[in-house]
Chains A and B, each alone.
Chain A
Amino acid sequence: MFDSTDIWSPVRLTLELAAVTTVVLLIVGTPVAWWLARTRARWKEAVAALVALPLVLPPTVLGFYLLIALGPDGPGGWIAGLGGGRSLAFTFEGLVIGSVIYSMPFVVQPIRNAFEAFGERPLEVAATLRAGPWDAFWSVAVPLARSGFLTGAVLGFAHTVGEFGVVLMIGGNIPGETRVLSVAVYDYVETLRWTEAHILAGGMLAFAFVVIVSMLMLEKRIGRAGE
């Protein structure tokens, strides 16, 4: 039938989505994390809370708002209109937007923690050595926070791979475009095709285990090297 014959297409798509999402998150999340770590603004915890919201909200809440926001009457529809479309729902780009919001806390929090951990001192030293702020950021702050970046990137990637509810609500289950691994597993289970479900689910299990173990080991190593 239909689309589900190709069991690897969802795997490829999921890896693509997670990779793109992680890159976007590092680009968007780093300045946010930097600001949160450095600013003395009174409302910074309000911003931090906004970033952390997806940790608490059910995916259906995000999915509901996204479905409206991406649609023809929302900003997503406007953006889609620039490219001749009418909605960003049911598109890969729409999934990237959803995933970036959904996985944001997993990237911002570790990077912010890392920025906060080394304190003001290294940056003050860099300033006395006449490093400009931009130079100091790249040659001092980023290397010192490398474990935070690594943790953030791995968690952001892994969390996007594990996404389900949001995709189910805004994806439309289109093969090669929005039919990601978790949705494919759901379909296989519903249609009682458990062989395929087992292959994908078992693969996911192994993947998640390897990610978490390597994270824990890496953290230990970097933690030791940094002391």
Chain B
Amino acid sequence: MRRARNRPGGRGLPGAAAALLAVAVAAASAPAPAGAGEVHVAVAANFTEAANEIGALFAARTGHSAVFSFGSSGQLYTQITQGAPFEVLLAADQERPRRAVEDGHGRAASRFTYATGRIVLYSADPGLVTGAETLSEGNFTKIAIANPQTAPYGAAAVEAMRALGVHDRLVPRFVHGNNVAQAYQFVATGNAELGFVALSQVATRAGGSRWVVPEDLHATIAQDGVLLEAGEGNEAAAAFVAFLKGEEARRVKQKFGYGADE
């Protein structure tokens, strides 16, 4: 009997392992791209669209370019503690930038609030969300929120539901997005009938139904940014932080529903 038959488990494996190793080595030895005129920014998922617009304006005005990495604040922060080559962190909360400073990854003096966010109960179905009563009536099977352990927008959603006294009843219907962008995606595809998303995600979109959660139901989502160690001495990083505080950036933030705050 021939013996070549068990390819996938047999001979193929060492080859695949070697290839994987080669890729890993190549990735590890790639230089951290931090050339002049470029700034690497870790951005909380809720700020994605605003960041892209601000980035375009920033490039047009200063000639520098901003390279964004989007994720949940928790994910980005973990990466920063492990030496990710980010030069600026734009988190969705104040806690992580504060910790970044405490743990020696960020510059204390550079910490600032770049935006304040709001949460929205949103559905792609135009008739579903009418207000707080949508939650207590509970005519839905799944409600999407960002993972409250890693995403401040998820934590704010939990806080609001607690304040309304519906949280415990709704827990079995939660689906967790890895970050608020994924929570929105679950709702947008209709897989969850509704969900708590960031106002910035729906502010410029018509359609669906929405209820902007009143600010007395949850602590203000103050989003802090901080200049990280890796960005020290990078002119583009300093320029980006300055631009983010400026008038043009403020208009973009306003358009996406962020509170004007400094």
Contact = CB atoms under 8 A, between A and B. Distances in A.
Contact of A173 (B4, B176, B191): B176
A226 B2 CA distance: 9
B74 A219 contact: no
A105 to B, nearest CB: 8
A226 B4 CA distance: 12
What interface size band does chain A fall in?
Answer: 35 or more
Interface in B165-179: 174-178
Given A189-B78, A219-B9, A70 B149 contact: no
Interface string A104-119: 0010011001101110
B9 A110 contact: yes
Given A2-B149, A67-B189, A87-B191, A110 B175 contact: no
Interface string A185-227: 0110111100000000000000000001001100100010011
Nearest to B174: A174
Interface stretch (A16-24, A124-132, A146-154): A146-154
Contact of B175 (A4, A174, A216): A174
Closest 8 CB pairs of A and B: A172-B175, A173-B176, A117-B5, A89-B191, A113-B5, A190-B74, A72-B190, A71-B191
Interface of A: 1-2, 4, 67-68, 70-73, 77, 85-87, 89-90, 106, 109-110, 113-114, 116-118, 147-148, 151, 154-155, 168-169, 172-174, 186-187, 189-192, 212, 215-216, 219, 223, 226-227
Contacts of B10: 216, 219
Interface of B: 1-10, 13, 72, 74-75, 78, 81, 141-142, 144, 147-150, 174-178, 182, 185-186, 189-193
Contact of A86 (B8, B150, B193): B193
Nearest to A94: B191
Contacts of A223: 3, 6
10 contacts: A67-B185, A89-B189, A89-B191, A90-B175, A90-B191, A147-B6, A148-B6, A190-B75, A215-B9, A226-B1
